[in-house]
Structure 1
Amino acid sequence: RYYAKPGHPHLIRVNFHGAKEVPTRTCHAILKAAA
């Protein structure tokens, strides 16, 4: 699955078992690390 964050032209791929279950905090941390 690919998630596009507003303001981020690139797509971020989340390689997690059940990305929907990942807390928002973790998601933001992943986005920051991938940025």
Structure 2
Amino acid sequence: MPGLLVPALTAFVPVLVAAQWWLWRALRDPGRRTPFFF
């Protein structure tokens, strides 16, 4: 099972970064609150 931890983390980190970036954009630009278009 520990062998699956690294691919799961490497797949999860970009999603986390994208979600954080989108949240920062949504907070800075309140007029643009579309979760699908960056």
TM-score by length of 2: 0.34
Bigger Rg, structure 1 or 2: 2
TM-score by length of 1: 0.37
